[in-house]
Structure 1
Amino acid sequence: MPSPTSRTPHVVFVCQKNGGKSQMAAALLRDLAGDSVVVTSAGTLPGTALNVQSVESLAEIGVGVGDEHPKALTPEMLEAADLVVVLGTEAQVQAPDGTPLETWVTDEPSDRGITGAERMRLVRDDIRARVGDLRRRL
């Protein structure tokens, strides 16, 4: 990844539908880093709308998603990236040679019977901690 003084790093967050986790990660990094990082999110099989609970969970902590919407991952997005972060195991992504790729697997609260807003808060907080670590590394 580029040093902070060389140029603005570009992070691409990817999940399958691009309606929840990758959008959450992107919104959290935009909120935390501002203009010091270029942030893109996309999906390998994008849906048609953002996950309402994801958006509400972000709003609880004062983070908005702006006019974001699910979009398809393109080769151009991958080529522009200094780092590709895949959220979950459903999306299969091949980063260009020389571009680091990380996979973030969030514990799924619904596997323990936790659903609804409580589930989404746990997912959000896990992604938020990972984004904070990423910001420090950038």
Structure 2
Amino acid sequence: MTGVPSVLFVCVKNGGKSQIAAGYMRVIADGAVRVASAGTSPGSSVNALAAAVMLEQDIDISAAIPTQLTEQAMREAGRVVVLGSEAHVPSVPGVDIETWITDEPSARGIEGVERMRLVCADIEGRVRELAGRLTG
């Protein structure tokens, strides 16, 4: 897969936003980008509501397993996208890191499935833009 761009999506638990972003990138880039995700303090499973909302769009992230962020994974990807401000990712020489301060509808009193749909829509738009940059 020489020359194929790669991205590692990161959030704290690797159960929501980073899994959502990885799911979108796999579909949008359709194999043209290597995709991985990880968490700075991974949980035990994918957020059920995130999985349900993604499944509404025929993207199944329910079987994904939260993974610990490692420096090796960062180096292998070469590009790390941190979703939200809660995950703190170390600087690694040679690795491009960008942070997406994603929409948080709960700050506006929006909860539940409506909140998750808005979170997914925000992330999808950002992933589409990134896919365009990576695949030219």
C-alpha distance in 2, partners of 1:26/1:56? 15
| 1:57 and 2:53 correspond | yes
| Mapped partners of 2:91, 2:49: distance in 1 | 29
**CA RMSD, aligned part only?**
1.4
Deviations 1:95-122 (A, max 9, x none): 4212211101112111111000000000
Task: Indicate the residue corresponding to 1:89 in structure 2.
Answer: 85
The offset of 1:55, in angstroms, is 0.5
Which residue matches 2:31?
35
User: Is 1:107 the counterpart of 2:99 in the alignment?
Assistant: no
Partner Cα separation in structure 1 for residue 60 and residue 91 of structure 2:
28
List structure 1 runs of 4+ shifted beyond 3 angstroms. none
* Whole-angstrom distance in 1 between the partners of 2:56 and 2:7: 24
User: Partner of 1:19: helix, strand, or coil?
Assistant: coil
Identity %: 48
SS of residue matched to 2:46: coil
Q: Return the match for 2:124 from 119, 128, 136.
A: 128
What do the CA deviations read for 1:73-109 (whole angstroms, capped 9, x no partner)? 1121011012100001111112421221110111211
Displacement after TM superposition at 1:37 (Å)? 0.8
SS at match of 1:64: coil
- Alignment partner of 2:44: what SS? coil
Kindly provide the CA deviation profile for residues 27-60 of structure 1, in whole angstroms up to 9, marking residues without a partner as x: 0000111211110000000001110110011111
What residue ranges of structure 1 are gaps of 5+ in the alignment? 1-5
CA drift at 1:61: 1.1
TM, length-normalised to structure 2: 0.93
State how 1:56-75 maps to structure 2 within 5 Å.
56-65=52-61, 67-75=63-71
| Residue identity opposite 2:71 in structure 1 | P
Q: Contact between 1:53 and 1:117, CA under 8 Å: does it hold in 2? A: yes
Residue 66 of structure 1 and its aligned partner are, at CA, apart by 6.0
